[in-house]
Homo-oligomer: A and B are copies of this chain.
């Protein structure tokens, strides 16, 4: 009866820590605005689907998790909103005289800067807080221990880049690029296959962790079904970033082989693709998939320096790990110049990217 279950973490990439100019904390305005736009979605999701009567049987406390929390402050805004909405639900249904305690689990990779996260907790937070390090592609919590799981702008991260795209012998070899924008179809397919695997394992793990009736609320960057990655700012940006690395290799800063050996572990899905992936999981009722109304997203990021800072705060960790710290300033300087020279970013309408809101409820299956 030896117990061999382990909870190890795979390779991890976290957003930049601390509070400096390249930190994620200082460069996540885009996500914060989306989170604020998301408030309404969450409120309605909880009002319509957080069934206190079903859930309260097992309740000493309401347990909430935010997956991919980074270092704040967005995670605190989201969590506060979730808690207020659940409290309102308790008050409005009137089934309990006392509101239970709240426990919030903040999750991100082991390499996330939890020290900064913990020091940034709101001074009068009305919940008990814990940090849970580890990859959300695997199990993070005990069975049936959570009532509400939230994840915002995190599921676009793959557990790893698909290995074929770095394999010279594969038809999916992505030579001269670090991302699948404008790449041949085999590269795009390899990325899509990896994303499908990752969504499967994500949903499988969450199904175990949620109590029956528990909710899973996801905000995921996406592109409309008929569009391609090059129709978005982020897709174009990551393609440009790859071209900067190739330019640098050509003048002896790094090598082309080094660029070929690297691809970014991130993917932008479509509503149709994500819909199909969710529907093949039987543990959830598919309550809702909606496009988030997020008009303000570009206004704050259309300045080339700001776009560069944003990209750096999100991707520097994974880039540094492969290319080393020394070329980061040069890389992002070159990148800022390319963004400034491009006309694509002048018109915010050119960015066709969207944000999907997905609401799932753990069923009895």
Contact = CB atoms under 8 A, between A and B. Distances in A.
Contact of A131 (B87, B101, B128, B130): B130
Contacts of A128: 7, 132, 139-142
Nearest to A115: B115
Contacts of A121: 110, 133
Nearest to A209: B128
Contact of A114 (B1, B91, B118, B127): B118
Interface string A116-147: 00110101111111111110000111111100
A342 interface: no
Contacts of A115: 113-115
Contacts of A48: none
A103 B141 CA distance: 8
Given A110-B119, A115-B115, A143-B60, A3 B87 contact: yes
A296 interface: no
A126 B3 contact: yes
A242 to B, nearest CB: 30
Nearest to A144: B60
A99 B1 contact: yes
A5 interface: yes
Interface in A34-79: 60-61, 63
A343 interface: no
B3 A103 contact: no
A124 B2 CA distance: 14
Nearest to A119: B110
Given A1-B91, A99-B1, A145-B103, A126 B6 contact: yes
Interface size class of A (residues with CB under 8 A): 35 or more
B87 A114 contact: no
A5 B142 CA distance: 26
A275 to B, nearest CB: 31
A166 B124 CA distance: 29
Interface in A135-163: 139-145
A279 B130 CA distance: 31
Most chain B C-beta atoms within 10 Å of own C-beta, residue among A3, A60, A140 = A3
A120 to B, nearest CB: 10
B114 A5 contact: no
A105 interface: yes
A123 B60 contact: no
Contacts of A63: 142
14 contacts: A3-B99, A3-B126, A4-B126, A7-B126, A8-B123, A8-B124, A103-B141, A103-B145, A114-B131, A118-B131, A128-B132, A128-B140, A128-B141, A130-B131
Interface of A: 1, 3-8, 60-61, 63, 87, 91, 99, 101, 103, 105, 110-111, 113-115, 118-119, 121, 123-134, 139-145
Q: Which 10 pairs, one residue from A and one from B, show the smallest C-beta to C-beta distance?
A: A61-B142, A130-B130, A118-B133, A131-B131, A6-B124, A114-B114, A130-B132, A101-B142, A103-B142, A115-B115
Given A7-B125, A103-B145, 16 more contacts: A3-B99, A5-B126, A6-B125, A8-B124, A8-B125, A60-B143, A101-B142, A103-B141, A111-B119, A114-B115, A115-B115, A118-B133, A128-B139, A130-B130, A131-B131, A131-B133
